[in-house]
Structure 1
Amino acid sequence: MNARGLLVVLVSVATAISVPAAAISQGFAGLGSTAEGFAVPRPGIQLRFPADHGPHPEFRIEWWYITANLESEEGTQYGVQWTLFRAALAPKTEGGWSDPQVWMGHAAITAKDRHLLAEKLARGGVGQAGVVAVPFSAWIDDWEMKGLPKPGADQLDKVSLHATGKGFAYTLELSASGPLVLQGDQGYSVKSAERQASYYYSQPFYKVSGSLDIDGKTVRVSGKAWLDREWSSQPLAKDQTGWEWFSLHLDSGEKVMAFRLRDGRGGYMSANWISSDGKPTPLPPGSLQITPLRTARVGDRNVPVAWRVRIPERGFDVTTSPLNDHAWMATTTPYWEGPISFNGSAGGHGYLEMTGY
C-alpha cells in the first residue's frame, strides 16, 4: 500500500546480517518498534521533486516499487514486479563498508501457469546498489531502473526497467501519461489509529512496452504499470499483523489505491480515488470495504486470493480475480504479490499484495 515491502525488507535484512531477534519483535516485521534516532514523517511537509525520487538515509526504510499488468501480441496476460528496498541499520551516515544502508531487490514475472521470481541483497557504500535522483538511476547489481526523461520533464516521466532471474528476464520502457499522485494528505500517509505514517507518492499512469524472456523464449508485451515510492521510520503500530494492498487501473482511466492494515480492532483502512487526469481524492475513514471471497492453498498456508472491494460513496463494487492463485514470493520472507482483474460496477486490471498469511 505501500506500507508494502516493509515486512520483506526488515525481516530479510535481519536474517541476512544476523540482527538480533529482539530488533524485529515489535509489531509486524518489527515495524512498530521505535524510530529512536531516525527522522519520522510529519504532516504539512511539502514533497520536493526531483530530490524525493532519491534516497532518504535519515529515515529507516524506503522503496521504489513497480508492478505492471501486461499482455502479449497474442493476448496472453502477464504481470511483472520490480522492487528496490533500502533499510538503515543505524541512524548515521558513513561511507564504504561502514555504510549502515542495506539494499534488497525483488523481481518477478507472473503468468497463468507460472510464477518466476528472484531476490538480491547488497550492502551500501560500495556501489553494488543505490539510487541517484538526477539523472535518475536505481540499481542492484545488473538490475536497473533508469530515467529517460525529455528535457524539462520529471525524472520519472520515462524510465527503462531491467531484471533477470533463473529462467526469466525482462526489459521494459515505461512512459507516464499523467502526473505524479500524492497519497494521503499531500503525501503524508497515515497507517494506524496511533498516527504512524509514511511519506508516499505514486506514478500510476505508466504505459509500458517491451519484452519478457521466459525459458529462452522472447515475448513482446504492452500494458500499464504503477510506481509506488514510500519512506518512513516507524510506519506501523505494534499490533498490526499484515496487510492487503490494491492498485487498480479502471477501464475508465481512473485509478484506485486502497489498503487494509490488519490489527486486533478490525483493521486500519485507507483509499484514494484518482481521476483520469490525475486528481487525487483521499476518501474519508470508513469508505473502504473489503471482503475475502475465495481462499486457495498456497504452499503450506491458506491465502484469500479473490476479494470483493467496495467504496459505496463512489458506487464502486467489484470482485477481483487473480491471474495465478500461486503468485507467492518465496523470498527470504514470503508474501503474495500478483496481477488481478476485476469486474462489477467497473472493470479493469491491477495488482494485489498480501502479507502476514
Structure 2
Amino acid sequence: MSASPKISRRAFATGLAFLGFGRGASLAQNFAGLGGDASGFASVMPGKSFEFPRDHGPHPDYRIEWWYLTANLRDHAGDALGIQWTLFRQAIQPGPQREGWANQHVWMGHAAVTRADAHRCGETFARGGVGQAGVDADPFHAWIDSWRMRGLDRVSAMNVAPLEVNASSAEFSYVLRLEADKALVLQGDAGHSVKSERGQASYYYSQPHFTAAGTVTIDGRSADVIGQAWMDREWSSQPLAPDQTGWDWFSLHLETGEKLMLYRLRQTRGEPYLTGNWIGSDGRSAALSPRTADMIPTATTEVAGRRMPTGWRIIIQDRGMTIDTVPLNPASWMGTRFSYWEGPVSFTGTHRGVGYLEMTGY
C-alpha cells in the first residue's frame, strides 16, 4: 500500500471480477476505469459551486470518488511514523441508485502504517446499499466495516473538523483525533482539477491543515503520536486520458506553514502532465504553472519486483524552491489488489518539512 498481480486503480480481480476490468489492462484502465469511456455518468465541468457539508458526501452520478487521509507523525521518542486511510466508491453502472444488494456501487478501503523499519497495510471491500460502507455528509461520517472517519461534536462543515479516524488489521491499528483551524482548500482552478491536455478533470478539494494526536500500534507495539495530517476529496467519471499510465503525487507540509500539492501524470507519449497548488500559511491556494515547476527522480529502489523512483528533486521556480525528498521507508509498497507505492517522506533544501508520496502504474 505481499506481492499481488500488477494492476492499477481498477480490476477487482477474483471475487470482484464482475466489475469487468481485466488483469492485463493498464493501471489507468484498471483502477476503477479512470481512463475508460464514461458514457452515462455525470461530467466534470469548470465553474462548479461547492456546497458544504453536502459535498463531503457521495456523488453517485459520478463513476469514482475517494476520501483519502495521510498523516506524518512522531512518537514520544521522536521517531517518525505515517498512517494512511482511504475509502473508494466505484459505480459499476450509471443510473439511479438501486436498493439493497442490487445497488451498483462497490466500496473499497485501504489503510496502512509505516515506520522506518516496517510497513503494514490492509484492505477491505463492501457492496453499497446494505449498510456495509458509505458516507454521510452531515454530520460527516465515512465508514467501511469497522474502519471509520467521523465528525465529533460541533464538526465544522468548512473545516471538516474535529474528526476521529480509526483502522485495524491483524498487524496494526490506529486511532487519531484530527483538528483544523483553517478552512478547506480548493485544488486546481477553484476545485476544477485538469488532468490532461485533452480536458480530463476531477473535482478536488483538500484539508491540508489538520493536526493529529492519538495512538498507533504496529506488530503489538503501541505508541502515542502527534503530527500533521492531510485529507483529499476527489470525484470524477473519467479523470485520466486513455494514454495515461499512472501518476507520482506529493502532499507536502513545509516547516514555514505553507503546503504544496504537486503531481505528474505519466503518458505513453510525450512529457508527463504536471499540475499542483501552492497553499500559503494563511490557507490561500494558488495553482502552479507547469512551466515553472519540475519533478525529477533522483534515486530508485527495487520494490515488489519493480524499480521505483523513491527519491525526487522538486523545483518550483516562482517560489524559490529546490528540495530533495527521501522516503521514510523505501519499501512502502501497498500489496493490495490494486497495488501501488504509498509512504511518508521528508525533504531538505531551500525548504524543509515532511509529507506523503503516492506512485501508481509501475
Q: TM-score, normalised by structure 2?
A: 0.93
Residue from 80, 84, 88 that aligns with 1:85: 88
Give the 3 Å change call, closer, same or farther, for CA 151–16 of structure 1 in structure 2. closer
Asked if structure 2 preserves the Cα contact closer than 8 Å seen for 1:136 and 1:155, the reply is no
* Cα distance in structure 2, aligned partners of 1:271 and 1:131: 27
Q: Deviations over 1:75-125 (max 9, x none)?
A: 010000000000000112111001000000000000000001100000000
1:130 and 2:134 aligned:
yes
Residue equivalent to 1:37: 40
Q: Secondary structure at the match of 1:11?
A: coil
Residues 275-290 of structure 1 aligned to structure 2 (within 5 Å): 275-290=280-295
1-side partners of 2:156 and 2:71: how far apart? 26
Q: 1:245-295: per-residue Cα shift (whole Å, max 9, x none)?
A: 000000000000001000111110001000011100111232220111111
Structure 1 pair 247/132, CA: closer, same or farther in 2 (3 Å)? same
| TM alignment of 1:296-335, pairs within 5 A | 296-335=301-340
Of stretches 34-43 and 208-217 in structure 1, the one that deviates more from structure 2 is 208-217
Asked if residue 216 in structure 1 is aligned to residue 199 in structure 2, the reply is: no
For these two proteins, the number of residue pairs brought into alignment is 351
Residue aligning to 1:157:
161
Q: Which runs of 4+ in 1 moved over 6 A?
A: none
Amino acid in the other structure paired with 1:90: Q
3-state SS of paired residue (1:286): helix
Cα displacement (A) at 1:20: 3.0
Offset of residue 41 of structure 1: 0.7
Give the Å deviation of 1:192: 0.3
Which residue in the other structure is 1:109 paired with? 113
Deviations, residues 131-186 of structure 1 (Å, cap 9, x unaligned) = 00011100000000001152665471210000001211000000012210000111
Identity %: 50
Q: Which runs of 5+ in 1 are unaligned?
A: 1-6
280-289 vs 56-65, which moves further:
280-289
Instruction: Give TM-score scaled by structure 1 length.
Output: 0.95
Change beyond 3 A, Cα 1:271–1:126: same
Q: Which amino acid aligns with 1:150?
A: R
Closer/same/farther in 2, CA of residues 215 and 42 from structure 1, 3 Å limit: same
Note if contact 1:110-1:324 (Cα within 8 Å) is conserved in structure 2. Answer: yes
The equivalent residue for 2:3 is none
Picking from 336, 342, 348, the partner of 1:343 is: 348
233-242 or 18-27: bigger deviation:
18-27
Residue among 141, 144, 153 paired with 2:145: 141
Pick closer, same or farther for the CA change 1:153–1:356 going to 2, 3 Å: closer
3-state SS of 2:249 partner = strand
Q: Quote how far apart the aligned CAs of 1:215 are.
A: 2.2
Shift in Å at residue 65 of structure 1? 0.1
1:250-269 to 2 correspondences below 5 Å? 250-263=254-267, 264-269=269-274
The whole-number CA distance in structure 1 between the counterparts of 2:329 and 2:249 is 17
Q: Post-superposition shift, 1:19?
A: 3.0
In 1: Cα distance, 2:45 partner to 2:87 partner: 24
